[in-house]
Amino acid sequence: MDKMTLHRMEYYGYHGVFEEERKLGQRFYVDLELELDLQAAGRSDDLTLTVNYAEVHFLVKKIVETKSFKLIEALAEYIASSLLDTYTVINAVTVKVTKPHPPFDIHFQGVTVELHRTRK
Q: Is it the case that residue 24 has pLDDT exceeding 80?
A: yes
Q: Is it the case that residue 35 has pLDDT exceeding 90?
A: yes
Neighbouring residues of 21: CB distance < 8 A, sequence distance ≥ 6: 14, 15, 103
> Residues of the chain with pLDDT > 90: what percent?
87
Which tens digits make up the pLDDT trace of 56-112? Answer: 999 999 999 999 999 999 999 999 999 999 999 999 999 999 999 877 777 778 899
Walk me through the domains of the chain, giving residue ranges and CATH numbers.
3-118 (3.30.1130.10)
Q: What are the backbone angles phi and psi of residue 44, rounded to the nearest 5°?
A: -100, -15
What pLDDT was estimated at residue 87? Answer: 97
> Residues of the chain with pLDDT > 70: what percent?
99
Q: Is it the case that residue 13 has pLDDT exceeding 90?
A: yes
Of residues 49 and 120, more confidence is placed in: 49
What pLDDT was estimated at residue 81? Answer: 98
Separation of alpha carbons 106 and 103, rounded Å:
9
Active site members: 99
Separation of alpha carbons 28 and 5, rounded Å:
17
What pLDDT was estimated at residue 43? Answer: 98
What pLDDT was estimated at residue 1? Answer: 87
